DNA sequence: TCTGGGGTCCTAGGACCC
DNA sequence: TCTGGGGTCCTAGGACCC
């Protein structure tokens, strides 16, 4: 069996773990730049606030004292996530961390009768040790595990744990699961399926597999099998990522080349840092710019460009250099830019880099790599202490709006001491 | 006024090869 | 008028996930 462990309202729960006064109140957490609602407490869900709602549409509720709000604080969430995952790792024979707030525990080899006790203990332990409430769904496939987890979370009676372990339970669960709630059926496909009479997960599996294949391809076929207890979604092997992206919307639109260039250099620096953290290097460095798509009154321009390197790089100097070159290819004055980003692609392991006989700059490259190693050592403190002159002074997150940010309770001692 | 960020996989079509 | 067949690789776009 798989046990899917999912943190309830994770970002909100992290805020509550250090601010108990938020308990029982409607709370939302916002995306970067305080743009959209990305996490809601049960109370704010009950008020009808939808995922992804632009914050300005519900800000009046905050002003009236009806709703509590926090800017997102990823240092805090990342830290609490690591604590939860380390507890799971002690429990599961095999753990696959699927996102910041959920993980699949492969429980193959553990007897099914023991699973309820194990999972209930786990829920209690995580709550006590980290302050984070979690739900656990158990089933023979990941897709059914998701279904079980939904039930564990949605219905109080389950107390956070639900197991689908018989064909009868499976049919019953699928019968009341709307097709749009199924893992793998997204925003686009759900309405199309509903339009032809497939309203629930049960309706879906009762269609012939050929019917599913013709409309949804191999992905739909996989979901169809998974919902019937046949495993199709492989366990992830933790391979190197294929792309790394750093991008941000700006608090205000930017027109000046130098200012954009600094931001882009910053993003490129972030990508280079991540490459080195993972022991990889990239052949390609892409840059994109976006104007404000919501401002129909302004001219739109969303260019992108990509530089291919002769030898894969992970040094800040080289990645930033390539990004600036790409930026010069696409930047046009006269537009108001709202967002920019850097993507590094064609990633390989650093120790597998082929030396090119045309690499005339090998001395410079070695020097740049050394400089980057020193930067990493100095920057371990978490602050952007050493950076290129091309990058912006101050912290990476500067220049994005964070009006409602909580303190760095778990990663900064001085702020921790302020907790009452 | 204000609208997030970071990923993966699949597919269809075009370019190119022999 | 008549204009092959089969393969690979790349890319853009669309779908999905959190």
- At a CB cut-off of 8 Å and minimum separation 6, what does A244 contact? A271, A274, A275, A282, A343, A344, A347
Rounded to whole angstroms, the distance from the CA of residue A67 to the C1' of nucleotide C11 is 46
Where in chain A are all domains bearing CATH 3.30.1490.100?
244-396
Dump pLDDT digits (tens) for A391-402. Answer: 877 767 667 888
Rounded to whole angstroms, the distance from the CA of residue A166 to the C1' of nucleotide B3 is 45
pLDDT on residue A382: 59
Rounded to whole angstroms, the distance from the CA of residue A186 to the C1' of nucleotide B3 is 21
Q: Which helix (H) or strand (E) holds A281?
A: strand A280-291
Where in chain A are all domains bearing CATH 3.30.70.270?
77-226
Instruction: Name the nt closest to A306 by C-alpha to C1'.
Output: C11
Name the residues contacting strand B (CB < 7 Å): A 31-33, 35-36, 38, 52, 54-56, 59, 217-219, 241-249, 253, 274, 292, 294-295, 338-339, 341, 343, 400
Nucleotides on strand B lying under 7 Å from protein C-beta: 1-12
Mean local confidence (pLDDT), A271-275: 94
A77-226, CATH topology level: Alpha-Beta Plaits (3.30.70)
Q: Which residue is nearest to nucleotide C14 (CA to C1')?
A: A188
Instruction: Name the nt closest to A219 by C-alpha to C1'.
Output: B10
Q: Which CATH class is domain A244-396?
A: alpha beta
Dump pLDDT digits (tens) for A125-167. Answer: 999 999 999 999 999 999 999 999 999 999 999 999 999 999 9
Where in chain A are all domains bearing CATH 3.40.1170.60?
9-73
Rounded to whole angstroms, the distance from the CA of residue A418 to the C1' of nucleotide B8 is 41
Mean local confidence (pLDDT), A327-341: 93
pLDDT on residue A389: 85
Rounded to whole angstroms, the distance from the CA of residue A44 to the C1' of nucleotide B15 is 53
Instruction: Name the nt closest to A247 by C-alpha to C1'.
Output: B5
Dump pLDDT digits (tens) for A232-261. Answer: 998 877 778 899 999 999 999 999 999 999
A9-73, CATH topology level: MutS, DNA mismatch repair protein, domain I (3.40.1170)
Mean local confidence (pLDDT), A102-122: 96
Dump pLDDT digits (tens) for A279-312. Answer: 999 999 999 999 998 888 889 899 999 998 988 9
Q: Which chain A residues 214-253 have CB under 7 A to strand C?
A: 219
> Cβ of residue A190 near strand C, that is under 7 Å?
yes
> Cβ of residue A96 near strand C, that is under 7 Å?
no
Instruction: Name the nt closest to A243 by C-alpha to C1'.
Output: B7
Q: Which chain A residues 329-368 have CB under 7 A to strand C?
A: none
Q: Cβ distance A366 to A32 under 8 Å? A: no
Cα distance between residue A419 and residue A409, in whole Å? 8
pLDDT on residue A236: 78
Query: Is residue A420 over pLDDT 50?
Result: no
């Amino acid at each position: 069996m798989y046990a899917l462990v999912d943190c309830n309202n994770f970002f909100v729960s992290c805020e509550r773990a250090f601010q108990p006064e938020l308990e029982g109140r409607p709370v939302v957490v916002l995306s970067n730049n305080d743009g959209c609602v990305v996490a809601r407490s049960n109370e704010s869900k009950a008020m009808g606030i939808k995922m992804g709602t632009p914050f300005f549409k519900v800000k009046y509720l905050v002003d009236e004292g009806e709703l509590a709000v926090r800017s997102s604080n990823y240092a805090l969430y990342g830290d609490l996530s690591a604590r939860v995952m380390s507890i799971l790792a002690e429990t599961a024979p095999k753990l696959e961390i699927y996102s910041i707030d959920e993980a699949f525990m492969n429980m193959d080899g553990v007897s099914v009768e023991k699973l309820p006790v194990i999972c209930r203990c786990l829920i209690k332990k995580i709550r006590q040790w980290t302050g984070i409430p979690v739900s656990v769904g158990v089933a023979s496939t990941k897709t059914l595990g998701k279904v079980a987890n939904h039930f564990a979370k949605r219905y109080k009676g389950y107390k956070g744990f639900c197991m689908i372990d018989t064909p009868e339970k499976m049919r019953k669960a699928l019968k009341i699961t709307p097709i749009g709630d199924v893992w793998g059926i997204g925003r686009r496909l759900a309405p199309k399926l509903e339009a032809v009479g497939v309203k629930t997960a049960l309706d879906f599996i009762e269609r012939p597999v050929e019917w599913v294949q013709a409309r949804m391809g191999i992905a739909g076929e996989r979901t169809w099998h998974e919902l019937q207890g046949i495993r199709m979604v492989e366990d992830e092997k933790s391979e190197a990522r294929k792309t790394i992206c750093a991008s941000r919307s700006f608090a205000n639109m930017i027109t000046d080349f130098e200012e954009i260039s600094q931001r882009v250099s910053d993003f490129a620096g972030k990508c280079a840092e991540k490459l080195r953290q993972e022991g990889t290097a990239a052949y390609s460095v892409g840059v994109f710019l976006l104007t404000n798509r919501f401002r129909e009154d302004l001219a739109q321009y969303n260019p992108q460009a990509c530089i291919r390197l002769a030898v894969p790089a992970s040094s800040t100097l080289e990645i930033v250099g390539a990004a600036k070159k790409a930026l010069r290819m696409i930047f046009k004055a006269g537009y108001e830019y709202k967002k920019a980003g850097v993507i590094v692609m064609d990633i390989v392991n650093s120790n597998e880099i082929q030396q090119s006989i045309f690499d005339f700059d090998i001395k410079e490259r070695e020097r740049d790599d050394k400089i980057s190693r020193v930067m990493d050592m100095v920057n371990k403190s978490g602050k952007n202490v050493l950076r290129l002159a091309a990058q912006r002074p101050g912290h990476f997150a500067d220049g994005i709006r964070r009006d409602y940010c909580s303190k760095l309770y778990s990663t900064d001692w001085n702020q921790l001491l302020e907790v009452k």
